Structure 1
Amino acid sequence: MKKFDWYGKKILMLGAARQGQAIARYMSEHGAEVMLSDAKPFNKLFPAFDALKDLPIHWVTGGHPVELLSDVDSVFVTGGADLQIPIIREAVFRNIPIQNDTQVFLSAVQAPVIGITGSSGKTTTTTLTGRIAEAQKKEEQHIWVGGNIGNPLLTFVDDIKKDDIVILELSSFQLEIATISPRISAILNITPNHLDRHGTMEAYIAAKKHIIDYQNEMDIAVLNRDDKISWNLRKEIHGRLMSFGFVKPVDCDHEAAIFLENGMIKRCMKGIEEDLFSANLIRLRGSHNIANVMAACAIASAAGFSPKAMREGIENFSGVDHRLQWVREFNGVNWYNDSIATAPERTMAALKSFDEPLVLLLGGRDKHLPWDELADQIHHRARCAILFGEAAPLIKTALEKAQTTDSSLAVIVCHTLQEAVAAAASQAQAGDVILLSPGGTSYDAFKDFEERGKQFIEWVLQLK
């Protein structure tokens, strides 16, 4: 649907946060009649109301009564909206289209779009791809990076020119109701995550898969050869395939692929094998970050970016905040912030990034994911586990079940993250790494993982 199609349409937007404001503004400015409903009372929405006060928007606050659906042409939701609430279920029953800002953006934008999803590594890979694109771009081009990071790009869609390049990080929440796929779509990996939202692993995979479901024969899917679920999706792509993985493909003459060999990141494409750069150029910790770099190179290759641009984009990149972020060295102990680790799988990747003795801080809110494998790894890789938040009892039980006779792991349970920081400082020995890699979400005590990470950094920097 093109942007001019919204003229005279009656739109119901559920939620007045950033995405909701972006949709409301876009729709109103393109001639739609907009009703904005938020479950919060009006006195909690003054910033949102102030941001949209120049537009003829009808506000409904304090709930989402189903009566709002009368004569509505489309219902819009934010990425994190619960699709099972009564008003959305009733809209589905009435065959009223349910959309989000990503759908509108993809239908309206003129520039080519690169979409990136995965259970982990999305933001790092998206940021790297953006840096490579910046190194590749022509003088008159603009690179737009957004989606699940930064501000909603729908706010800027009318400013994006057809020769620009758009790079979107897309979550399963954003893809859940997708009916449009980017021209280049990457699935980095699919491991158990957000099952508290999607219910089953099958539903989670289906949501992720939407990023390639609506491609055509000229589009390109980028898949991970080392991730079983991602790689199995190669049988269902509609266009061309570009892959990445640690081992060189068997049939490199006929595949387009990125791989690691003899310390070099390499590419085979159109029957030509070439060195891209030394893996020593990568400053990020952990094999999972080498995979993220290879993914960015695969995406860049699919987009036609040069090896020179890849090297320039990756060189001197030290990472994204809250992702194995070094905080400080204090009394011979290095502190790291990996607050982005909101699933056990991500914490396992973080553990593999260190050879030093580890004091691990983990907890938060559980997402109905298994802790058993992580518990086993903690016994082998950490000397102390400090648990905090709602999930602490659950994790403690998993650690007790995984304990063996030769395990010397110390386990400390705290109520809050701040208490956990103090406990870690008291336990630390010179040469240790203290790692916040929670494995659970932040919602039991913080607005999001970023707020949790910032608070962690603040408390660590206060240590004396």
Structure 2
Amino acid sequence: MDWTGKQVVILGIARQGTALARYLVAHGARVTLSDLKPREQLDLQPLADLPGVDFVLGGHPLALLDRCDLLCLSGGVPSDLPIVQEARRRGIRLSNDAQVFFEVCPARIIGVTGSAGKTTTTTLIGEMLKLSTQEAAGSPAPARSVWVGGNIGNPLISDVERIRSEDWVVMELSSFQLELMTRSPHIACVTNITPNHLDRHGTMEAYIAAKRRILDFQSPRDWRVLSADNEVTAGLEGSARALWFSTRNEPRGDGAWMDAAGYLRIRVDRTAESPIGGRPSRIDAVICHRRELLLMGEHNVANVLAAATVCAAAGASVEALRRVSTTFRGVAHRLQLVAQRGGVRWYDDSIATTPERLMAALRCFDQPVILLCGGRDKHLPWEAAVRMMVERCKAVVLFGEMGPMVAEKLSDEQKRTNRLAFQWSQCGSLEEAVAEAHRLAQPGDAVLLSPGGTSYDAFKDFAERGDFFRKLVDALPAA
């Protein structure tokens, strides 16, 4: 698209909005950045060098649409805002940084989405492809580059001028981005779909519809990689060729799975003509044994299988899949061991912003667990998570905005099951919760921050919450 003279309004001044503004201004667009926060609450310094950018702060007035060719929404901006509804009524096109990137990116794109596991899977894919390209080139600096970003790390629109047609792009995509998109990746991976972001999407049906858009615009020569273990993803149909991954059963078609003996296996046929490049190959091999993985939990076995399936479709070597699978130590704030103090292990799983992810974390532990649960609720069902807390945890320490809600459910479950020895307590802040967990913990215990809610009641994001947790733990006395 020729952006020269185009009037573009971007809602939301954060990583994505800032990166998109830079790209559009560099290509001749006239950009207006709008944010609900007033100027004094925003850091506009990264945009100080951009010429001709207008700012409308403290709200999104409808007058922004009077001269607007394109309205772009940053990731945290709801699509049901009055200004977005009015833009639809006027026929103004909606977009975001991911959509613009898809329109201009010259390289092949792998897209990853899901309710849980997408960041770990995206990172694993990037590492597997990087190692495979190094092997093919016989050098640490191969001719083909692998770019990883999107909803994690760097918005890839910032790098698009340096991306070449022979490269690979690995992109994490959120439901917020996907609901506006009209392009699909060459390889689309959906790790799973479970209740999440219902505070934003309203219904589970709307949330599923947003996620499945990653498949909607694929061709029959593309690939879709889906979990066979998840009820929703197992039923997703599309035009692209299907590959499956499962921790339970050998898939009905090609894909990756864990067999009854605990071996991770893969079978993928790439001998048919493919538009995504890579050498034709037929893979039928053992990747490794589950015991060789450094990542904890069955959900991480699924993430490794998903990444291996994607990379096999992209033409990566089995050796690259094996080496990364057995050496990868995980992504920050995802069941990360942050300290061992006085015989107690402290784990940061701040990324767990849903009850489903909290339960996945609890399943990873055999030793007594003191769980730190709290934050802001997403209006998701808590019954199963509360049952698991009472069954599996030595104690639960609640904190934050949703603490009273979970406390009521814990009390009801404790009475229903007559588990009088089960301990739970309620604190106002994460700082108080860490102190309480330290008081309760004994040698051999694990203290797990797996909140089950978002961080927005007290922190900018889950990463800031996890970093603060680590600082609190580091400051604890050794005994």
Q: How would you bin the TM-score normalised by the shorter chain? A: over 0.9
Identify the match of residue 287 of structure 1 among 287, 298, 305. 298
1:378, 1:10 → 2: CA distance?
A: 52
Kept after mapping to 1: 8 A contact 2:249/2:257:
yes
Aligned match of 1:61: 57
2:104, 2:238 → 1: CA distance?
A: 24
Identify the match of residue 400 of structure 1 among 406, 411, 433. 411
User: Are 2:173 and 1:177 aligned?
Assistant: no
Residue deviations 1:361-407 (CA, integer Å, cap 9, x gap): 10110000011100001111101010011111111111122220245
2:70, 2:48 → 1: CA distance?
A: 20
Deviates more, 1:263-272 or 1:135-144: 263-272
1:80, 1:95 → 2: CA distance?
A: 22
Aligned match of 2:230: 227
Deviates more, 1:183-192 or 1:399-408: 399-408
Percent identical among aligned pairs is: 47
User: Are 2:28 and 1:25 aligned?
Assistant: no
Kept after mapping to 1: 8 A contact 2:283/2:312:
no
Aligned match of 1:115: 111
User: Are 2:404 and 1:376 aligned?
Assistant: no
Residue deviations 1:160-208 (CA, integer Å, cap 9, x gap): 0011110001111111111110010000000000000000000000000
Report matched runs for 1:415-430 at 5 Å.
415-430=428-443
Report matched runs for 1:60-209 at 5 Å.
60-137=56-133, 138=137, 139-209=142-212
Kept after mapping to 1: 8 A contact 2:288/2:326:
no
1:412, 1:44 → 2: CA distance?
A: 35
| TM-score, length-scaled by structure 1 | 0.95
1:279, distance to aligned residue in structure 2 (A): 2.2
Deviates more, 1:18-27 or 1:364-373: 18-27
Report matched runs for 1:285-364 at 5 Å.
285-364=296-375
User: Are 2:24 and 1:13 aligned?
Assistant: no
1:414, distance to aligned residue in structure 2 (A): 0.5
Deviates more, 1:185-194 or 1:31-40: 31-40
Amino acid in structure 2 at the alignment position of 1:63: G
Q: Which ranges in structure 2 are unaligned for 5 or more consecutive residues?
A: 270-281
Secondary structure at 1:437 match in 2: strand
1:221, distance to aligned residue in structure 2 (A): 0.3
Q: Cα 1:16–1:428, aligned 2, differ >3 Å: closer, same or farther?
A: same
Q: Cα 1:119–1:7, aligned 2, differ >3 Å: closer, same or farther?
A: same
1:50, 1:185 → 2: CA distance?
A: 33
Q: Cα 1:71–1:259, aligned 2, differ >3 Å: closer, same or farther?
A: same
1:198, 1:54 → 2: CA distance?
A: 34
| TM-score, length-scaled by structure 2 | 0.93
Aligned match of 1:237: 238
2:309, 2:473 → 1: CA distance?
A: 37
Amino acid in structure 2 at the alignment position of 1:37: S
Kept after mapping to 2: 8 A contact 1:25/1:52:
no
Aligned match of 2:272: none
Kept after mapping to 2: 8 A contact 1:131/1:314:
no
1:308, distance to aligned residue in structure 2 (A): 0.8
1:64, distance to aligned residue in structure 2 (A): 1.4
1:399, 1:418 → 2: CA distance?
A: 21
Identify the match of residue 34 of structure 1 among 28, 31, 49. 31
Residue deviations 1:294-340 (CA, integer Å, cap 9, x gap): 11111111111110111122232111110001011111111111100
1:308, 1:170 → 2: CA distance?
A: 28
1:18, 1:110 → 2: CA distance?
A: 22
Residue deviations 1:102-134 (CA, integer Å, cap 9, x gap): 000011000000000000001111111110011
Kept after mapping to 1: 8 A contact 2:353/2:453:
yes
Q: Cα 1:273–1:316, aligned 2, differ >3 Å: closer, same or farther?
A: closer
1:24, distance to aligned residue in structure 2 (A): 1.1
User: Are 2:261 and 1:260 aligned?
Assistant: no
Secondary structure at 2:103 match in 1: helix
1:257, distance to aligned residue in structure 2 (A): 1.3
Residue deviations 1:387-430 (CA, integer Å, cap 9, x gap): 01111111111112222024521011101110000000001111
Secondary structure at 1:89 match in 2: helix
Aligned match of 2:277: none
Q: Cα 1:447–1:50, aligned 2, differ >3 Å: closer, same or farther?
A: closer
Kept after mapping to 2: 8 A contact 1:366/1:441:
yes
1:82, distance to aligned residue in structure 2 (A): 1.6
Amino acid in structure 1 at the alignment position of 2:90: R
Kept after mapping to 1: 8 A contact 2:251/2:257:
no
1:407, 1:166 → 2: CA distance?
A: 53
Secondary structure at 1:315 match in 2: helix
Kept after mapping to 2: 8 A contact 1:379/1:407:
no
Aligned match of 1:461: 474
User: Are 2:411 and 1:411 aligned?
Assistant: no
Identify the match of residue 444 of structure 1 among 457, 462, 473. 457
1:49, distance to aligned residue in structure 2 (A): 4.7
Amino acid in structure 1 at the alignment position of 2:254: A
1:52, distance to aligned residue in structure 2 (A): 4.1
Cα RMSD, aligned residues only = 1.4
Q: Cα 1:181–1:50, aligned 2, differ >3 Å: closer, same or farther?
A: closer
Kept after mapping to 1: 8 A contact 2:244/2:251:
no
